[in-house]
Amino acid sequence: MRPAIWLLAGLALCLFAISLLTGPAGIGPVQAITALFGLGEGPMPIVMREIRLPRAILGFAIGAGLGMTGAAMQGYLRNPLAEPGLIGVSGMAALGAVLAIQTGLSQVSGLALPFAALLGAAGGIALLFMLAGPRGGSITLILSGVAISALAGAGTALVLNLSPNPYAANEIVFWLMGSLADRSMVHVWLALPPMLLGGYMIWRTRRALDALTLGEAAAAALGVSPERLRYQLVVGVALIVGPATAVAGAIGFVGLVVPHILRPLVGARPSALLLAAGLGGAILLLGADISVRLILPERDLKLGVITALIGAPLFLHLIWKTRSGGRL
């Protein structure tokens, strides 16, 4: 387990550095690093510190958050289909964010935006756990997820279409697919603190999630309180997915793909998987964000396009496995 974690951490840091070095301005690596510490001359420090650094930090943090929430939700629901993007938690967060922006609340206080998104995410995941809690099967989970996603997507589109702003309606794509283009340090300071807190809360549930793999009765016998675990996960997931979606839109499939790929590597135990899935999520999202900048640099290709291109075939593979009698 240890070598795998170190490998993942090294890979994530490499991609973080590549993300800092990727951009249309064509700044050499040495110049980029000096500019990053504010030492270069001219506009380079502004490019590095105000444009590329926030993008790389958000790519790392949001990827890590989505990977970790995916692993935690799959552990709690004991179902490999659980993932914030796919089952509408990100969508509900996007709805909350859009409401905060279009009602003008986000202008009254900067904190209103991540907070509204957090409330949306919390609502989404609470509804999901209620409908498809620990005893619910895959069908219940997917059906409730489809319903929540559809509701959130329709609500987001409705709010944006009602906006007096002519650009708002075109932004439906951003809220459904996600993008990290031209985010600033302001967004980092809005999103990072609650995400760190959420990550800590989820990290603390790892023993309880391990116990739950033995079944609810055994977990209860080991002193795990189901209500407390559920509460911790709802708050933790909302603290991560809400602010992440508020600044980068709803990015799907990261939480689905990453735990699935890493399970053979680090084992299926939730406690082992949480950290690995966090690093894996960071790798996937940083990689996706670097590729959108390399494939179509001028078009602001959405992150969700890349993650879905990777995630959807895997999803189909999961379905294929269940159909042919394999265990999910």
Asked if 24 is part of the footprint of other proteins (rule: CB under 8 A), the reply reads yes
How far is the C-alpha of 172 from the C-alpha of 114, rounded, in Å? 18
Q: Which of 10, 29, 108, 165 binds other proteins (CB under 8 A)?
A: 165
Looking at the Cβ atoms of 26 and 326, the one nearer to other proteins is 26
How far is the C-alpha of 133 from the C-alpha of 81, rounded, in Å? 13
Please enumerate in sequence order all residues whose Cβ is within 8 A of that of 315, keeping only pairs 6 or more positions apart, or say none: 86, 253, 256
How far is the C-alpha of 161 from the C-alpha of 168, rounded, in Å? 7
Asked if 30 is part of the footprint of other proteins (rule: CB under 8 A), the reply reads no
Instruction: Identify whether the C-beta of residue 75 lies closer than 8 Å to the C-beta of residue 212.
Output: yes
Looking at the Cβ atoms of 170 and 225, the one nearer to other proteins is 170
Q: Which of 13, 51, 127, 143 binds other proteins (CB under 8 A)?
A: 51
Looking at the Cβ atoms of 139 and 186, the one nearer to other proteins is 186
Asked if 115 is part of the footprint of other proteins (rule: CB under 8 A), the reply reads no
C-alpha torsion 155→127→276→67, nearest 10: 0
Tokens 């659980």 found at: 82
Asked if 25 is part of the footprint of other proteins (rule: CB under 8 A), the reply reads yes
CB of 49 to other proteins, least distance (A): 9
How far is the C-alpha of 294 from the C-alpha of 306, rounded, in Å? 12
Looking at the Cβ atoms of 172 and 262, the one nearer to other proteins is 172
Q: Which of 4, 5, 21, 23 binds other proteins (CB under 8 A)?
A: 23
Looking at the Cβ atoms of 166 and 223, the one nearer to other proteins is 166
Please enumerate in sequence order all residues whose Cβ is within 8 A of that of 181, keeping only pairs 6 or more positions apart, or say none: 55, 300
How far is the C-alpha of 150 from the C-alpha of 139, rounded, in Å? 16
Total residues at interface with other proteins (CB under 8 A): 33
How far is the C-alpha of 319 from the C-alpha of 328, rounded, in Å? 8
Q: Which of 3, 30, 135, 167 binds other proteins (CB under 8 A)?
A: 167
Q: Which residues are near other proteins by CB under 8 A?
A: 23-25, 42-44, 46-47, 50-52, 101-102, 104, 106-107, 163-168, 170-171, 174, 182, 184-186, 297-300
